[in-house]
Chains A and B, each alone.
Chain A
Amino acid sequence: MAALSSRCCFSLGFLVGTCTLYFFLTQVWFERKFSLQLDSQVPSTAGQLGGENQSWRVEGSALISLRYPHLQGKDSRVADQLYKKVRILCWVMTGPDNLETKARHVKATWSRHCNIVIFMSSREDPDFPTVGLGTKEGRDQLYWKTIRAFQYVEQHHSHQADWFLKADDDTFVVVDNLRWILSNYTPDEPIYFGKRFKPYTKQGYMSGGAGYVLSREALRRFVEGFRTKACTHTTSVEDLALGQCLEKMGVLAGDSRDSIHRETFHPFVPEHHLTMKFAKSFWYWNYCYYPIVEGPQCCSDLAVSFHYVDAELMHMLEYYTYHLRAYGYQYRYQPSLPEGVEPNSARTEHSPLGTERDAPGNGSSKL
């Protein structure tokens, strides 16, 4: 009797033990995710992933791009031609404290699309590399840094580029779109472009944070202005002061909007321009030279710049601009080619809807 009940207990215990451990194992122990990246199957093409084949020559503190960075799967003949025709030198306003937190991300993203890029700091850093402008740091030094930077660029690089862009280390720039805007002008014209503001000047001036670009002639006149003392350091408000000097030197403030009058240079992040309603009391309403458009038409498809872009957003915008897309999608906005540029293969000229082509500067509105 005792042996029987003992055996029963043993069997019962065995059963309970088995079941308990089984449930424990399946529910808890084996709760694992199985998103396998078949690294063994997919050939490792780390160097060519996204296909960014690029080479740089380092000349002092300037990074000179030797070849247009091609992306896999794209026909980039038009971009290639513009790269050679519209040479842009980008200089980025930064400082020793911002190299690792901000400038590094500019270097890893949009500045690779410039013909030449130079990072301007108060202090030289041969490793980054940055130019040392010999100023102090701080908001009140901004105009000094700008003056010195343009003088440096004019002295060392004016023959190597046609246009000279100034950007902050929290500005994101789509250099290819800047080339498209500038392709209708020549570097011998005294003209400059950016996000146009209207106060304090007759012709307006360009917002510093959104970036502005000077033609070679405009650059020459700016430096000349300081040489002849026609221009001096009037204020530390860099963008206004520069605008006033250029106005004095006969440099025209250009209209950087696209062919249907949408802004291309933007002083805020995309989210603000696309979704926010600016309060009527906000200074922006009184500053913008052209009428503000809120909502999706605030911004051209071929936007050139955004400002107040942090490290994370910098990479996100690079991803949105150069990588993420809707396969096969026919863009609504299809502007015509600039003069003297050969198209990408004939296929692109065929638009299934027969949408009209707009040349930049053309007044027709098309959506």
Chain B
Amino acid sequence: MISEGSSFIKGMLLGGLFCAVVTLLGNFNTGHQSTTDHLHHHIQVPSKEELLKLPEPKRLELSQSIRVYCAILVQPRELSYWAAVKETWSKHCDKAEFYSPENVKVFHSVSLDTKDKWLMLRNALKHAYTNGKGYSWYFVALPSTFAIIENLKFFLLNKDPGQPFYIGHTVKSGELEYAELEGGLVLSVEALRRLVGVFSDSVKCPEQGSVLWKLTEEKELAVCLKYTGVFAENAEDSEGKEIFNTKSVNALIKEALAEKPQEVVNGCCSDVAITFHGQSPNHMQVLMYGVYRLRPYGHTFHDSLIFLPPVDSDND
């Protein structure tokens, strides 16, 4: 009896040791490999040289041809954020659709008839795919996120929507790389097509989520996309700064004040940032003013794209 017990313990210890050794060796080997993979996982905004190669009429054509469908996943208790998003940045999407778990009287939304977050995301994306034909990019956001769609379009300018793209503020959990929902994520029409395809596979991408333990919906999304050969990628500007942010401007400036007090604004955030997260509804109005209106007189950017202000709007 005792000898069996001690055999068991010995076995366990040896098994654990074996596993640790294998994993360490494995990581060491893939260590180099993963850094080269990471290099491919950082996509940059188009460079000035790239843009200048395009003739002027082509640039105008491109400005109008990149069409973004915004899917915003709201909860009924987030009414003030919902209202803020409706009145602010979502007006700059080519189409903005709000998805809620159930019918809400105050605002129009697509009811998904479920409270489960993963199921909500699945159904929203399915709906976006079937109802959002003719759009090349699908941007998914929460109402606590603020987005600058023009900068998203600028970033996507030289990317082919016929290729599978899944881009956002990408982080790694275990072996899984996924885009954090708080920072907003964008799928090309090809990525979405593949995703909707794998939704019907109840083994790879079950409705109830992973069997072993519950993952957040953003991770479930990454798992399903991975099965179709689509991997999460990070985005940055020409200086290497992140453009999908999971923090608010306030938080990022605070960090820069503490860590890089000599170069706060330069060290903080990108000039062409796409998203910030955690801004209050009031501050979203301030952001509209700061992004679309407030500027110093006498400076001009010779941008290669042209975006016009939306109709019937006065805060931008």
Contacts and interface: CB of A to CB of B under 8 A. Distances in A.
A2 B3 contact: yes
Interface string A13-48: 111111111100111001111111111011001100
B308 A318 contact: no
Interface string B1-22: 0011101111111111111100
A7 B273 contact: no
A interface: dominant SS: helix
Interface stretch (A54-62, A211-219, A319-327): A319-327
B173 interface: yes
Given A21-B16, A270-B289, A329-B309, A82 B3 contact: no
Interface string A190-210: 000000000000000000000
Nearest to B251: A312
Contacts of B23: 22, 25
Interface residues of B, number: 86
A42 B266 CA distance: 15
Q: Which among B42, B263, B297, B305 has the greatest number of chain A C-beta atoms within 10 A? A: B297
B96 interface: no
Contacts of A323: 265, 269, 271
A324 to B, nearest CB: 6
Interface stretch (B69-77, B122-130, B146-154, B200-208): B146-154
Contacts of B239: 42, 45, 49
Contacts of B298: 76-82, 176, 179-180, 344
Contact of B296 (A174, A270, A332): A174
A17 B170 contact: no
A39 B283 CA distance: 32
A328 B154 contact: yes
A325 B272 contact: yes
A33 B172 contact: yes
Contacts of A37: 240
25 contacts: A6-B7, A10-B7, A10-B10, A11-B11, A13-B7, A16-B12, A17-B12, A30-B172, A30-B174, A33-B172, A35-B234, A37-B240, A75-B301, A177-B297, A271-B286, A317-B290, A320-B289, A320-B291, A324-B291, A326-B150, A326-B292, A330-B307, A345-B300, A345-B302, A347-B300
